[in-house]
Structure 1
């Protein structure tokens, strides 16, 4: 039960932090999640009573993150940058362990050298979750992202091996470089081999199931989710690195089928990516919330009693500076070596090309085989090199992997009574340095590598969407006005209502004079319709019991006309508590039109709604005639209300031999029977609307795509805007039939 309560608390923190991040937009989501987790840990101390072991943490959270990261990584990019990635994952880890370990032992002599090495080893690896979360808010170059992600996939093994031997040396006082190298080779190479074997077996097993017809999209997704846990546990059972095994298996099992070759492949990839996107967000969020919950626990009373706060802050600043300094120096040298090697390779390639170019007349090498590019000034080269190195430095932040490693430090020495030297201080330093690196990345990365300006802002998209929706509505209204295929009219009216809702919401998102005037006029029209409804109710003298069925039906009718929000309730509000209770009870009943009484109620409700539309049209026509600067906005709303009025009469006249608006004896009252000669066809319209809804919606979305293409071809919207609008239509198309 305690674990379930912790899970619910963490999930609530994830939801709350996602909302809070929209308010505090300056901070990245990981930092907001850490802050929320820390606050909850302080307010609800009981969360510390439930602990998750480091091994369980790695398999539950880190394994699926690394597996998905490997699936989405381009193997070619990893191979092209293998030297730099191994340099960061192995060489930089060893340098960090040595430098930070020696300096920490010198500055805090109470921490033994081996324990200082263990602390440095835990801080050496970068975290895939932190790198992925921070990289999503900035614009990294392709090589920068490849190095950061590739390093985070591999350096866990070197950090874990260094940590294990350092902690063992702290416990036993013995250390063997030969044993350490042998252990590293076993974990590193063995983990990769185990992952490759399991990945190949898993890949061909799924292909065999697919060829036999035993595989479906659901089974495929479940198979992918199951794989990282099995691979990790299997590799750990073999005594190798489960982390590297998961990475290797992810690279092997990635689905790299070509697009447009099969509908089933496209569906499988679409569902898989959508599912993993949710899983990755949830796991990332849980990791950072749990990290925040651990921060208050790291600062124990024992630390406060032995060390002053300025001293602790100084040690944290020193360790952070050492880690950042080592990384910056290593990356600076690595990138300069890479650039020199790339320039030499380019020169060799150009010389080979130049030697093959011969002039036509003399058959001699051409004196100008290529045009030389301007070589950047040395200041530009140094500035670019420093900036690139700084991005790679602050981008390598620490995270939950580091914290999970440090929590595996034993509580006592081998005798079982002597406490591990300065364990609380080491845990506190590790947690604080993690937070410092995240703050550093969150503050500097957006400045060093800001996200490129969006091709189109929301205002431009909304204006373009309004034009597309208006054009689509005109086409749909023209289809409704024609007498062809009358059986599609009920479904077409519902589709038009849905587009009216989309158009209204698009107008609300645009901040210009016309949209503001439309919003103000819509509010005034709502008040006018409310007054008209009140006058009708007062004239009829209906009690609450009589009104309730009609008012409940009125809400359904107005919703089907495209009204949204408060507009749905116009004309169906009760001033008394008893009336509201009757309306609420009536709304619990099915809204279908089945009996003769339902037919009469629906007919009377449509007549009532027609009167409300006449009131709105009269008011808007007066606004248009006033010529006070609101004519354009009023004219747009006037056309919409005329369209709604036409839709209401179409419902009444659908399939009838006599057009009801032409009858001189039509009255607004609660009829006991339908007018003479009128057939009860409203229920049939509901059935036809349900039968043809998907077909009509599909046609409407095709018309919308045509409108987008038309505006783009005429240069009225840009290509990025058109692509974004198409993506929205594609999402709506995929939802059809669901």
Structure 2
């Protein structure tokens, strides 16, 4: 039960941090989640009594995270950069362990050398969760992204092995470099072999199930989610690296098929990517929230009594500087060697190409090849050094510590082998580790956006919004023309609802517009709303109906206004009770299912349509006066006038649907409630509800096709740019996929 309560608290923190991140957009989401977790831990001290096993932490969070990271990694890119990745994942880890371990032991003598090495080993690996979370907010080059993700996939094993041997040395006082090397080789190569074998077996099993027709999209996603947990546990049971096994399995099991080969494969990929997107976001959020919750717990009273805050800050700063310094020097040297090798390779290729061209030209003209007078300018050495330093800085701060480091350090034993002597300075080591994690995240969050800023989006939000409004307006015109055509009246009810949905989308885009026209439309719409409410009050006061009688009419009016394109508070115009009893009755009425089933329902719906028509006439009369008298608001009033006329036509169309005798539009209607429908009028509102539900998907699909045609038309005529058109198409594709879901 305690674990369930902790899970609910963490989930609430995740939701709260996601909302808070929108309020404070300058802070990255991981830092907001850490801050929320820290605040909750301070406000709810009982959280400190619930502990999550570090082994459970690894298998529950890190395994699926690395599996998904491996699925989305291109093996060819990893192989092309294998030397640099292994250099970072093995060589840099060993350098960090030695440098930080000796320095920590020298600066804090109460921490034994072996324990200091254990702390350094835990801090050596970078974290896939942190790298992925931060990479989404910056613009990394292809090689930078490949190195950071590849390093985070592999360096966990080297860090874990170094930590295990340092911990064993701290417990026993003995260390063997030969044994450590053999153990590392067994974990490293054994984990890769086990993971590759299990991944191949899993991929083969999935293909056999697919060929036999026994696999569905849902089964495929569940199979993918199950795989990392099974692979991790099996590899750990086989005494190899579960982390590397998960990475190898993810690389092998990833589906890499040519596009446009199978609709079933495309559907599997879409569902799988969407599901994993949610899983990865949830894991990242939980990890950083738990990290924030651990920070107050790490600073125990025992540490506060023995060390001053200034001294502890100095130690944290020293360890952070050493880790970043070692990483910067290593990356700088590695990238310098890489660029030198690349320059030599290009030089050899260029020399061979030039010699071949020279020989060919000499044969053809019997003249030596002239030296070209125009050559591409080589970058100045200062530019090359500056580019190299900047690249090294990006790779340095782009490798923060995170969940893996936290889970490793929590495996430190509580006591020595005798079972009574406490592990030396365990609380201090945990505190330093958690603090360094926070420092590396702060550095990454503060420096990465400046070192590798995301390119400004060529498409502004306002430009996209204007294009969206033009597309929606064009689509609405086409849909209204289809409704007026009356080619097949069966589709009219569904078509009216589709028009209402597009009208709501258009209203939302106008309300979100930041230009002056958007503000004028919003202000004028509010005034029209007040005019309609005033007219409704006049009609209702004149009718003098009781709460019990008027409640069904109010509920029907709300549905009608929503069906003609009103949204939000506009839906409630004309259906507001002034007393609590009426509001309660309306609330109860709204719990009943929508629809028109009885003759009484037909009469109520008819009277409510007449009432809604009166409100539309009030709006139209007011807007016509504005157009005639107010030049400043004339354009906005003309836009709204067209919409209200469309709403009025929609109301009369549903009244006259399938009727032999059509009723004419007029404003001097006899208001209800009527005892019966007008003479000669058939009760067809219920049929319209059924037809609307029956053809809704078909009509919506046609409307989205029209919307795509509108986008193509605007693009062909140069009225919108290609990036805008692509974004608009993407939105339509999402809407198309949602049909029938």
Q: TM-score, normalised by structure 2?
A: 0.98
Q: Which residue of 2 aligns with 1:636?
A: 639
Task: Give yes or no for the alignment of 1:396 onto 2:390.
Answer: no
CA deviation after TM superposition for structure 1 residue 371, in Å: 7.3
Asked if structure 2 preserves the Cα contact closer than 8 Å seen for 1:660 and 1:666, the reply is no
CA deviation after TM superposition for structure 1 residue 662, in Å: 6.6
Task: Give yes or no for the alignment of 1:683 onto 2:686.
Answer: yes
* Secondary structure of residue in 2 paired with 1:671: coil
Task: Give yes or no for the alignment of 1:385 onto 2:409.
Answer: no
Change (3 A) 1:665 1:328: closer
Q: Which residue of 2 aligns with 1:534?
A: 537
Q: Structure 2 CA distance, aligned partners of 1:425 and 1:599?
A: 76
* Secondary structure of residue in 2 paired with 1:409: coil
Q: Structure 2 CA distance, aligned partners of 1:402 and 1:370?
A: 57
Asked if structure 2 preserves the Cα contact closer than 8 Å seen for 1:30 and 1:285, the reply is yes
The aligned runs of 1:557-706 (5 Å cut-off) are: 557-661=560-664, 667-706=670-709
Gaps of 5+ in 1: none
Q: Deviations over 1:139-170 (max 9, x none)?
A: 10110000000000000011111111111111
Q: Which residue of 2 aligns with 1:260?
A: 260
Task: Give yes or no for the alignment of 1:520 onto 2:555.
Answer: no
The aligned runs of 1:435-584 (5 Å cut-off) are: 435-584=438-587
Q: Which residue of 2 aligns with 1:64?
A: 64
Q: Which residue of 1 aligns with 2:122?
A: 122
Q: Structure 2 CA distance, aligned partners of 1:347 and 1:663?
A: 85
Change (3 A) 1:636 1:203: same
Q: Deviations over 1:584-614 (max 9, x none)?
A: 2222222211111111111111111000000
Q: Structure 1 CA distance, aligned partners of 2:281 and 2:322?
A: 32
Q: Which residue of 2 aligns with 1:313?
A: 313
CA deviation after TM superposition for structure 1 residue 354, in Å: 2.4
Q: Structure 1 CA distance, aligned partners of 2:694 and 2:184?
A: 65
Task: Give yes or no for the alignment of 1:3 onto 2:7.
Answer: no
* Secondary structure of residue in 1 paired with 2:683: coil
Q: Structure 1 CA distance, aligned partners of 2:202 and 2:368?
A: 55
Q: Which residue of 2 aligns with 1:336?
A: 336
Asked if structure 2 preserves the Cα contact closer than 8 Å seen for 1:20 and 1:32, the reply is yes
How many pairs align?
Answer: 738
Q: Structure 1 CA distance, aligned partners of 2:662 and 2:588?
A: 35
Q: Structure 1 CA distance, aligned partners of 2:133 and 2:666?
A: 67
Q: Which moved more, 1:556-565 or 1:356-365?
A: 356-365
Q: Deviations over 1:73-107 (max 9, x none)?
A: 11111111110000000000000011111111111
Asked if structure 2 preserves the Cα contact closer than 8 Å seen for 1:466 and 1:506, the reply is yes
CA deviation after TM superposition for structure 1 residue 173, in Å: 0.9
Q: Which residue of 2 aligns with 1:40?
A: 40
Q: Deviations over 1:356-390 (max 9, x none)?
A: 32125247885569974321001100100000000
The aligned runs of 1:10-409 (5 Å cut-off) are: 10-357=10-357, 358-359=360-361, 361-362=364-365, 366-367=369-370, 372-409=375-412
Q: Structure 2 CA distance, aligned partners of 1:38 and 1:172?
A: 36
Q: Which moved more, 1:583-592 or 1:161-170?
A: 583-592
CA deviation after TM superposition for structure 1 residue 349, in Å: 1.3
Runs of 4+ in 1 over 4 A off after TM superposition: 362-372, 662-666
Q: Structure 1 CA distance, aligned partners of 2:490 and 2:589?
A: 30
Asked if structure 2 preserves the Cα contact closer than 8 Å seen for 1:194 and 1:245, the reply is yes
* Secondary structure of residue in 1 paired with 2:346: helix
Asked if structure 2 preserves the Cα contact closer than 8 Å seen for 1:471 and 1:707, the reply is yes
Asked if structure 2 preserves the Cα contact closer than 8 Å seen for 1:550 and 1:605, the reply is yes
Q: Structure 2 CA distance, aligned partners of 1:263 and 1:527?
A: 51
* Secondary structure of residue in 2 paired with 1:661: coil
Q: Structure 1 CA distance, aligned partners of 2:328 and 2:398?
A: 11
* Secondary structure of residue in 1 paired with 2:411: coil
Q: Deviations over 1:678-737 (max 9, x none)?
A: 111111111111111111111110110011111111111111111111111001101111
Q: Structure 2 CA distance, aligned partners of 1:354 and 1:263?
A: 48
Change (3 A) 1:663 1:328: closer
CA deviation after TM superposition for structure 1 residue 628, in Å: 3.0
Change (3 A) 1:709 1:431: same
* Secondary structure of residue in 2 paired with 1:593: coil
Change (3 A) 1:412 1:486: same
Q: Structure 1 CA distance, aligned partners of 2:346 and 2:505?
A: 55
CA deviation after TM superposition for structure 1 residue 119, in Å: 0.7
Q: TM-score, normalised by structure 1?
A: 0.98
CA deviation after TM superposition for structure 1 residue 469, in Å: 0.3
Q: Structure 2 CA distance, aligned partners of 1:497 and 1:95?
A: 65
Asked if structure 2 preserves the Cα contact closer than 8 Å seen for 1:488 and 1:689, the reply is yes
CA deviation after TM superposition for structure 1 residue 457, in Å: 2.1
CA deviation after TM superposition for structure 1 residue 650, in Å: 0.4
Q: Structure 1 CA distance, aligned partners of 2:287 and 2:387?
A: 34
* Secondary structure of residue in 2 paired with 1:659: coil
CA deviation after TM superposition for structure 1 residue 665, in Å: 9.7
Q: Structure 1 CA distance, aligned partners of 2:735 and 2:470?
A: 18
* Secondary structure of residue in 2 paired with 1:589: coil
Asked if structure 2 preserves the Cα contact closer than 8 Å seen for 1:355 and 1:365, the reply is no
Gaps of 5+ in 2: none
Q: Structure 1 CA distance, aligned partners of 2:414 and 2:569?
A: 62
Q: Which residue of 2 aligns with 1:727?
A: 730
Change (3 A) 1:526 1:662: closer
* Secondary structure of residue in 1 paired with 2:364: coil
Q: Deviations over 1:9-33 (max 9, x none)?
A: 0000000000011111111000000
